[in-house]
Structure 1
């Protein structure tokens, strides 16, 4: 399979480069600069990412490019461009002032392959503290800005280019055209990598890898595990056994509804209702992290108990996606904290299960595209993200069955209201929090002293940052009235207008 190799020097934009290449229907992989994979015939070109480092630092990341430069099409972005200049006879110095933000690029050579169909001038995005002050002799300038003479260059006699701006960000208005010129034009990629081709290739690989072996998959009701299950089902059919655990902290009727959806999809699913076990173990616990650990531990133990009943199982399938894979081998090192509930972890060694991850090459939006190509139920495919500990971290304080009932009812009114008003798909994530606060109210001429709930709705692309959604006042008023009138135990509704950062999406 043809692919573009992206060498990561730690830039905040590296994943975005990969996203843009994937949008051209070309497969690409990100690898740390110091872990370059074997260069086989499938690699059609290489992109060097930006970096928070300076090429002038003593410990600056400097890969061995001897088998790449001059042999494969090569594009250096920002730090990558400065590296290609500094390491081969040019000079890079600190800029008089850090260049950050929009700049206008004048194209100096409009017939250069990288600049084809790029208007001049065109807006680009700068983000660097260094600048190239002298290029090596055989480097030819193809683009300049007011402050950066060597904003883009081409090495004569080689398929090697460097640009000191970021074509992958939205603010570079013709950045996609530049990347397309490199990936489709210079590298000669066919642009045929699509959801359908991914499905066909992945199913064939799964068949070859798994043969007649039995596979276990823990379903969560979310998009990733559901799409992984569909791919595995296409490959091995009834040799896949899915386990869906009800921890008692799911949304109203979710266990039965999702279980029914899975069965209509033809999946072999075991539903396990372990609600009482989770409620008992959460009694008296108020610390958020302790709640998370209990929920994660109980899930693993319930899952393990069911998995042991499946004879001949040799594989554990997981819905791991590409951002998880990238982070685990980041040039900055793996994430310091991994939340246990996000994965089926801690399986006993005696189970001796091997791991299979059908989605490990895909970003989140690509997972949805693959699910759509397999005709997955839109209500599953378009589901908002839902935290692994479920309503357990939307109930502030101790979790009880009664509090879960109250929150499920209020949450159902809010989520169904978003769907009915046509707002659900424009919101990235929404939910209700049950607060440990009681307030005085009046209902039917009687004084009440009941709970308060907070509505939360955010818009985001990856959950790392989020803004609160400006839902219509009339909609909020209707939802508030319905919750107070129909949910016994609630007499006050508030709307959370905090963004992330400084707040988080969930309250615990």
Structure 2
């Protein structure tokens, strides 16, 4: 485990040395990784830091409003509406790796735009150790590691949590007195709902995935999962009223883990699963059926793409 006091002291110095007298952009998503990186960077360089939250259109329900409230204390917080640009970049892409690379590149372009406006040389990211392991091991690229473009307008990328696991990041977040809503937040992938949609990302699939994930997180909160999610995995025949429908299939996944490197599917009671399927199919007429994924990691990854 991490010795938080010495870690914080070391990383504040490291960030200060890396940024120097210049300005820096911090990629802020609202998750514990980027929020902890932002807190460390803010302590290191103060007003030289420009926190940037990019609304990709791939986020959870209410995410942007939550960011605005949680980080209101950061006067320099910028919220960039890039929903159209991300959907345009993802149009026609079905390969998971190609999706991650498209998202990683668009993120960088958004940060570069802000960096030019505030004259920033460095980009601070909340990359953690499992991100690096999966990207370097070619399990899948993470948008903030293997998904980054080869050419970027930043002199340096600063990753203060690059050697930490998720549970260690939470320890540091608590030591920094971050709000519980941040420090204990369930992991959410950087590419967002795009990796919870099999095939091309469309507005219709995003709407289904967003509502289904909201239902799943609400209903499974009492199980205290490492991660609980819903993925739109294809279409199948169903019946709504007296009519045949060809609707979306939503897979529900809930796992327990210590560090995300391995995970076990949770044993969810039948009544809860039925409540989830009733809400997901009842609240969206385009959903034909709901499945529960019982696969551990390995052989599966936690996310679908």
Q: TM-score, normalised by structure 2?
A: 0.87
Q: Report what 1:242 is aligned to.
A: 51
User: Following the alignment from structure 2 to structure 1, what is the Cα–Cα distance between the partners of residues 304 and 273?
Assistant: 20
Cα offset for 1:341?
Answer: 0.6
Q: Report what 1:273 is aligned to.
A: 81
Q: 1:382 to 1:236 in 2, by over 3 A?
A: same
| 8 Å contact from structure 2 (residues 25, 49) kept in 1 | yes
The structure with higher relative contact order (CA 8 Å, sep 6+) is 2
Q: Size of the alignment, in residue pairs?
A: 303
1:190-205 matches, cutoff 5 A: 194-203=3-12
Q: Report what 1:71 is aligned to.
A: none
Q: Report what 1:315 is aligned to.
A: 122
Q: Report what 1:259 is aligned to.
A: 68
- Correspondence for 2:113 among 301, 305, 308: 305
- Correspondence for 1:432 among 223, 227, 230: 230
SS at match of 1:255: helix
SS at match of 1:302: helix
Q: TM-score, normalised by structure 1?
A: 0.55
User: Deviation per CA, 1:97-137, whole angstroms, max 9, x where unpaired?
Assistant: xxxxxxxxxxxxxxxxxxxxxxxxxxxxxxxxxxxxxxxxx
User: Following the alignment from structure 1 to structure 2, what is the Cα–Cα distance between the partners of residues 385 and 315?
Assistant: 25
Name stretches of at least 5 consecutive residues in structure 2 with no aligned partner.
none
Q: Report what 1:492 is aligned to.
A: 289
1:258-407 matches, cutoff 5 A: 258-264=67-73, 266=74, 268-311=76-119, 313-321=120-128, 335=137, 339=141, 341-343=143-145, 345-346=148-149, 348=151, 351-360=153-162, 362-407=164-209
Cα offset for 1:495?
Answer: 0.6
1:453 and 2:262 correspond: no
| 8 Å contact from structure 2 (residues 166, 260) kept in 1 | no
User: Following the alignment from structure 1 to structure 2, what is the Cα–Cα distance between the partners of residues 205 and 391?
Assistant: 33
User: Following the alignment from structure 2 to structure 1, what is the Cα–Cα distance between the partners of residues 289 and 140?
Assistant: 36
Q: CA RMSD in A?
A: 2.7
Q: Report what 1:219 is aligned to.
A: 28
User: Following the alignment from structure 2 to structure 1, what is the Cα–Cα distance between the partners of residues 126 and 98?
Assistant: 25
Q: Report what 1:476 is aligned to.
A: 273
**Structure number with higher helix proportion:** 2
1:8-19 matches, cutoff 5 A: 19=1
User: Deviation per CA, 1:285-338, whole angstroms, max 9, x where unpaired?
Assistant: 222222222222222222222222112x2322222445678x69xxxxx64577
